[in-house]
Amino acid sequence: MPVTLLTDRLVLRPWTDADVDAAFDIYSRWEVARYLGATPQAWIDRSDAEAALARWSALTGEVHGVWAIVPKGEDVPVGSALMKLLPASGTGEPTADTEVGWHLHPRAWGHGYATEAGGRLVENAWAHGLTEVYAVTYPQNLASQAVCERLGMARLGPTDRYYDTECELFVKRRD
């Protein structure tokens, strides 16, 4: 399970079984799901959330995982922040490239939570010896591309190396 990380306004903590309804509320929305994976699909059943939380809780370590983004003083997650190995197109096998990412409920858009959570995960990656972190976005996902830029990530351009789809690739290298 990932460790709990803090920012000025957020708690990044492991997802728990008590968060199933919040996860379903986030990922059952097309406006969230439309930019996820090669064939985006919104969750249609609570069992989708239960299966995802089981997968996420199986991830162990201090760097890689999927964290619930919870504003301080609240209990209900407003999204996810993730750090994982990017899957190679064609095989789906993990590459050596670490991805930072975020998925937020629409009510949490525009508050800077993605930038704050992503920045904290990058700091954590540096603290554990990683020297570069990647992000991929759908070409039309301008909001996530803006987050990448606020994180100081360099745009590398289009790639089809990951997720069996064409993405815009960003990288941040440790100074």
Q: Which candidate, 143, 138, 136, places its Cα nearest to that of 172?
A: 136
What pLDDT, on a 0 to 100 scale, did the predictor assign at position 62? 87
What is residue 76's three-state secondary structure? coil
φ and ψ at residue 143, rounded to 5 degrees: -65, -45
Asked whether the predicted pLDDT for residue 82 surpasses 90, the reply is: yes
Distances (CA, A) of 159 to 40, 108, 122, 165, 168: 18, 29, 22, 8, 6
- CATH number for 5-173 (one of 3.40.50.300, 3.40.50.1460, 3.40.630.30, 3.40.50.150): it is 3.40.630.30
Tens-place pLDDT, residues 113-136: 999 999 999 999 999 999 999 999
pLDDT tens digits, one per residue of 127-169: 999 999 999 999 999 999 999 999 999 999 999 999 999 999 9
Closest by Cα among 143, 144, 134 to 86: 134
- Dihedrals φ, ψ of 69, to 5°? -95, 115
Predicted confidence (pLDDT) per residue in 21-61, tens digit: 999 999 999 999 999 988 999 999 999 999 999 999 888 67
Residue 2 has pLDDT above 90, yes or no: no
Domain boundaries, the chain: 5-173
Q: Is this prediction's pTM over 0.85?
A: yes
Residue 69's Cβ-count burial label (10 Å; 0-12, 13-18, 19+) is buried
